[in-house]
């Protein structure tokens, strides 16, 4: 199936790009694979940046493979420090910032996303950090080791994981969240409240319903006029697409690069995987950009198969996890605009919440209940419809729903 494909170029050397390259070789592709990465590192998985690397002072970066292994074992040409800056659809080439050109028969866009900048904090005289790459994580780790006063703008997963690490290091941490509760786009309020209480018990402060309007060298100013002393601001207000390759191909990318279930874009021979891809989610009932570790890995593996002629539709429900002190929280599917069923005792610190729309199970969240989440993910993926009364009973064996 792949005999006519001689050159595959992967624009992006993160998790999606790396896993796609592995999958191409695992499926027997013998042609040339070139992986072009903006960063000076070989592919690595990003969850460690806000987890292990912040919590342990000497934790090294864990790479998917060492740089030499890509060439020696997989025969993949890995070019680091090589951001793709242009793409010629007619000549079927991509170009990097240093002027080199690479021909392709198939192109995979795996450029991921970048942190959304906060305009009010640009050139403000106060140290402002973002968390996207290894260097960002090392810089933040050094900062929190000095027991700084830290303001975190954004009460999402990245901001809260950083808050955990900073609080454990003895920092004075204040989280500014424009919504009225934490993770309002992913968590039901009962879990938002649980997470906030856990953080407060470790000394983290929260200010809801406002945001930062500016800053000076000694702190930030909120829209309501309050001033919060700070030595450092960490911004975690979401991400945006990296548009270069898509723009050159005439592909809209503001909300993500639209793909079908096989990862194909509207440009012939061009595919997209990982955070950059705008893909259909049955759970959400719309196309979304899935910014998770699991999607970057599993969708990329599926798309790699399609690039060499195999039929491999990808429709896994979105899934992610976060560790907040002693709380392991996992979310699958979509928790918004749905009826919620609570399984277990919320006071025990171990329970699940199931999201339903009519008779459809569209989402689930577990707190310290990883085994139950493993079953709930399978129920959602299989589009099973167990009775609401069964789901409400903690004694109901979820394996029954899969029969």
Q: Give mean pLDDT, residues 354-358.
A: 97
Give the Cα-Cα-Cα angle 398, 402, 403 (nearest 5 degrees): 115
Query: What CATH number belongs to 326-402?
Result: 3.30.390.30
29: phi then psi, degrees, rounded to nearest 5: -65, 125
1: pLDDT strictly greater than 80: no
Do 58 and 31 contact (CB within 8 A), yes or no? no
Q: Give mean pLDDT, residues 339-366.
A: 95
On average, the pLDDT of the chain sits at 95
Q: Which of 108-117, 226-235, 245-254 has the lowest mean pLDDT?
A: 245-254
The one-character DSSP state at 368 is: S
SS3 33: strand
| Whole-angstrom distance, CA of residue 392 vs CA of residue 220 | 46
The two domains 7-48+58-114+241-307 and 117-235 share their CATH topology (first three levels equal): yes
Q: Give mean pLDDT, residues 310-319.
A: 94
Class of domain 7-48+58-114+241-307: alpha beta
The one-character DSSP state at 401 is: G
39: pLDDT strictly greater than 60: yes
Do 266 and 223 contact (CB within 8 A), yes or no? no
143: phi then psi, degrees, rounded to nearest 5: -65, -45
Kindly state the greatest CA–CA separation across the chain.
65
* Predicted local confidence at residue 58, as pLDDT: 87
Q: Give mean pLDDT, residues 153-175.
A: 97
Query: What CATH number belongs to 117-235?
Result: 3.50.50.60
Q: Give mean pLDDT, residues 242-257.
A: 91
Angle of the 293-307 helix axis to the 15-26 helix axis, nearest 10: 40
Count CB atoms within 10 A of the CB of residue 105: 16
Q: Quote the percentage of the chain above a pLDDT of 70.
A: 99
Count CB atoms within 10 A of the CB of residue 172: 18
pLDDT digits (tens, 9 = 90+) for 121-149: 998 989 999 999 999 999 999 999 988 99
* Predicted local confidence at residue 9, as pLDDT: 98
2: pLDDT strictly greater than 60: no
Q: Which residues contact 165 (CB under 8 A, 6 or more apart)?
A: 50, 54, 55, 141, 144
Residue ranges per domain, the chain? 7-48+58-114+241-307, 117-235, 326-402
Summarize the chain as % helix, strand, coil (round to 5).
30, 30, 40
pLDDT digits (tens, 9 = 90+) for 176-198: 999 999 999 999 999 999 999 99
SS3 161: helix
């Amino acid at each position: 199936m792949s005999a006519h494909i001689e050159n595959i170029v992967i624009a992006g050397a993160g998790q999606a790009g790396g896993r796609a390259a592995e999958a191409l070789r695992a499926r027997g592709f013998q042609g040339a694979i070139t992986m072009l990465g903006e960063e000076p590192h070989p592919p690595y998985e990003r969850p460690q940046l806000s987890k292990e690397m912040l919590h342990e002072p000497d934790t090294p970066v864990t790479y998917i493979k060492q740089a030499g292994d890509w060439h020696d074992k997989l025969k993949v040409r890995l070019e680091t420090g090589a951001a793709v800056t242009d793409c010629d659809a007619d000549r079927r080439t991509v170009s990097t910032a240093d002027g080199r050109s690479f021909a392709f028969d198939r192109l995979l866009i795996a450029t991921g996303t970048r942190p959304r900048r906060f305009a009010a904090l640009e050139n403000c005289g106060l140290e402002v950090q973002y968390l996207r790459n290894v260097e960002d994580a090392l810089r933040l780790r050094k900062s929190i080791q000095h027991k700084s006063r830290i303001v975190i703008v954004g009460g999402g997963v990245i901001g809260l994981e950083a808050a955990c690490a900073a609080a454990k290091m003895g920092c004075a941490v204040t989280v500014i969240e424009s919504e009225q509760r934490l993770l309002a786009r992913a968590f039901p309020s009962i879990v938002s409240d649980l997470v906030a209480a856990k953080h407060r018990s470790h000394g983290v402060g929260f200010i809801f319903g406002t945001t930062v309007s500016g800053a000076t060298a000694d702190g930030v100013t909120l829209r309501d006029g309050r001033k919060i002393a700070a030595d450092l601001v960490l911004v975690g207000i979401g991400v945006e697409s990296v548009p270069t390759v898509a723009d050159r191909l005439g592909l809209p990318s503001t909300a993500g690069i639209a793909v079908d279930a096989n990862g194909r874009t509207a440009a012939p021979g061009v595919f997209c995987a990982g955070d950059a891809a705008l893909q259909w989610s049955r759970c959400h009932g719309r196309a979304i950009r899935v910014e998770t570790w699991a999607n970057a890995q599993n969708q990329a593996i599926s798309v790699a198969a399609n690039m060499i002629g195999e039929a491999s539709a990808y429709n896994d429900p979105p899934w992610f996890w976060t560790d907040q002190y002693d709380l392991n929280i996992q979310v699958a599917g979509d928790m918004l605009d749905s009826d919620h069923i609570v399984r277990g005792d919320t006071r025990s610190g171990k329970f699940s919440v199931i999201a339903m729309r009519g008779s459809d199970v569209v989402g689930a969240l577990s707190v310290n209940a990883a085994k139950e989440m493993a079953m709930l993910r399978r129920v959602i993926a299989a589009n099973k419809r167990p009775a609401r009364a069964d789901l409400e009973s903690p004694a109901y064996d979820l394996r029954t729903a899969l029969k």
